[in-house]
Amino acid sequence: GDSVTQMEGPVTLSEEAFLTINCTYTATGYPSLFWYVQYPGEGLQLLLKATKADDKGSNKGFEATYRKETTSFHLEKGSVQVSDSAVYFCSFGNEKLTFGTGTRLTIIP
Amino acid sequence: DTAVSQTPKYLVTQMGNDKSIKCEQNLGHDTMYWYKQDSKKFLKIMFSYNNKELIINETVPNRFSPKSPDKAHLNLHINSLELGDSAVYFCASRPGLGQGLAKNIQYFGAGTRLSVL
- pLDDT surpasses 90 at A66: yes
- The overall average pLDDT reported for chain B is 90
pLDDT at position A94:
76
Instruction: Give tens-digit pLDDT for B47-86.
Output: 999 888 888 888 788 999 999 999 899 999 999 999 999 9
Judged by a CB distance cut-off of 8 A, whether residue B56 touches chain A is yes
pLDDT at B33: 94
pLDDT digits (tens, 9 = 90+) for A67-93: 999 999 999 999 999 999 999 999 998
Which helix or strand (DSSP H or E) is residue B2 part of? none
Residues in CB range of A106: below 8 A, 6 or more apart? A10, A11, A12, A13, A85
Which residue of chain A is at minimal alpha-carbon distance from B48? A96
pLDDT band for position B97 (50/70/90)?
A: low
Please report the pLDDT score of residue A23 as a whole number.
97
In angstroms, the Cα distances linking A48 to A59, A76, A91, B92 are 6, 11, 11, 17
Tens of pLDDT, residues A3-50? 899 988 899 999 999 999 999 999 888 889 999 999 988 889 999 999
Q: Do A95 and B45 touch (CB under 8 A)?
A: no
Confidence category of residue B89, pLDDT binned at 50, 70, 90: very high
pLDDT of residue B2: 67
B79–chain A nearest CA distance, Å: 25
Binary contact (A94, B4; C-beta < 8 A): no
Helix (H) or strand (E) holding A88: strand A86-93
Q: Which of A60-64, A71-75, B40-44, B95-99 has the lowest mean pLDDT?
A: B95-99
Query: Looking at CA atoms only, how far is residue A45 from chain B in angstroms?
Result: 7
Q: Give the distance from residue A96's alpha carbon to the nearest chain B alpha carbon, in angstroms.
A: 8
Mutate to test the interface with A, among B10, B23, B43 (most CBs of A within 10 A): B43
**pLDDT for position B1:** 62
Report which DSSP code applies to B72.
Answer: T
Q: What is the pLDDT of residue B99?
A: 60
Which candidate, B31, B51, B52, B37, places its Cα nearest to that of B95?
Answer: B31
For residue A80, give the 3-state DSSP assignment.
coil
CB contact under 8 A, B31 and A89: no
